[in-house]
Amino acid sequence: MNYMPIVRLASDRVNIPLFADDGPNQRLFTPGEVVTTQQGFMRGHGTYMEDDAIKSSVAGVMVQVNKLITVKALKGRYVGEIGDVIVARVTEVQEKRWKVDTNSRLDSVLLLSSVNLPGGELRRRGVEDEKQMRKYLQEGDLISAEVQNVHSDGVLSLHTRSLKYGKLSQGILVKVFPSLIQRRKTHFHNLPCGASIILGNNGFIWISPIMNSEGEGSGGGFTQNLDDVVTKEDRKTIARLRNCILALAHCKIMLYDTSILYAYEESLKYETPELLNPECMADVAFLTQHRLRSLEV
């Protein structure tokens, strides 16, 4: 069977609109543009003072908290904060630590003393633990972790001392801009559609089937369950969720459990591959934004 590729002309291209909130602080500021000339405001990240005016140093939207004005960049590397939930990939095993890619400017660090030992043992890490570091985590492994500390040079120190953190098993990794991840109380969700999702503050999103929680923690967060069979229905659900997230991210809609679930429900009228078409992406994003705004009324 010969596959005929679809060629789209530039004249037929769909210009997908950005469904941003219509608030006064949601307009886009460009570098060098005056944010405000009023006195009494303090400048925050993404701004600088010039000619008695606060100007933007990045392309983004203004965020005002009382008298503090910051400009949040729409695109850029992840800037970590203590307590952030992140999804990351191990890049190197070093002495008593792992180097981890967290989508930030510099590689992050996961210390051997900051992980749970297999079996949940509570003791000091010795030479034998250092020799077995690759049995715990090796290059290429995906993990979920929490930011424990931010050093002065911007390097993030991580930890996985909770049973909900650790090595990730079977699923799909989706990468979006970190500014699109909405900060919530929890970033681990079991969606009613039949999939589990981890919304990393660093822009890495992990989608996986919902696994049984019985027996978890016995491996200290290092078990993967690669022998478990993922059903075809679960694979379809995960693929649809991935395409919905890409559609929302393409239209610059904030990503959290409610927006993703609404997008999934609105996408059911399309086949999963159709969600990659620009027209379908715009339609799903528009209907999702409409439902989200109806909640605010």
Contact 246, 288 (CB under 8 A): no
Condensed to tens digits (0 to 9), the pLDDT of residues 147-202 reads: 999 998 889 999 988 888 888 888 999 999 988 888 888 999 999 988 999 999 99
Which helix (H) or strand (E) segment holds residue 146: the answer is strand 142-150
Nearest CA among 74, 22, 12, 78 for reference residue 249: 74
Rounded Cα gap, residues 43 and 21, in angstroms? 23
Q: What are the beta bridge partners of residue 110?
A: 98, 158
Contact 36, 54 (CB under 8 A): yes
Per-residue confidence (pLDDT) for residue 214, from 0 to 100: 42
Query: What mean pLDDT comes out for the span 278-294?
Result: 89
Q: How many C-alpha atoms does 134 have within 13 Å on its Cβ side?
A: 5
Paired sense of beta strands 42-43 and 68-73, if any: parallel
Per-residue confidence (pLDDT) for residue 80, from 0 to 100: 86
Condensed to tens digits (0 to 9), the pLDDT of residues 94-127 reads: 888 899 999 998 899 998 888 877 666 667 777 7
Rounded Cα gap, residues 164 and 145, in angstroms? 9
Contact 91, 139 (CB under 8 A): yes
What's the angle, vertex CA 65, arms to CA 64 and CA 66, rounded to 5?
Answer: 110
Burial of 187 per CB tally in 10 Å (0-12, 13-18, 19+): buried
Average pLDDT over the chain, rounded to an integer: 83
Domains of the chain: 28-73 (2.40.50.100)
What's the angle, vertex CA 76, arms to CA 85 and CA 164, rounded to 5?
Answer: 10
Per-residue confidence (pLDDT) for residue 16, from 0 to 100: 53
Q: Tokens representing 278?
A: 């620009």
Render 31-52 in DSSP notation, one character per residue. Answer: TT-EEE--TTPEE-TTEEEETT
- Is pLDDT above 50 for 139? yes
Q: What band does 241 get if pLDDT is binned at 50, 70 and 90?
A: very high
Per-residue confidence (pLDDT) for residue 224, from 0 to 100: 65
Which has the higher per-residue pLDDT, 267 or 16?
267
Nearest CA among 237, 240, 256, 247 for reference residue 195: 237
Per-residue confidence (pLDDT) for residue 102, from 0 to 100: 93
User: Which one-letter amino acid corresponds to residue 182?
Assistant: Q
Which helix (H) or strand (E) segment holds residue 237: the answer is helix 232-250
Is the overall model pTM greater than 0.95, yes or no? no
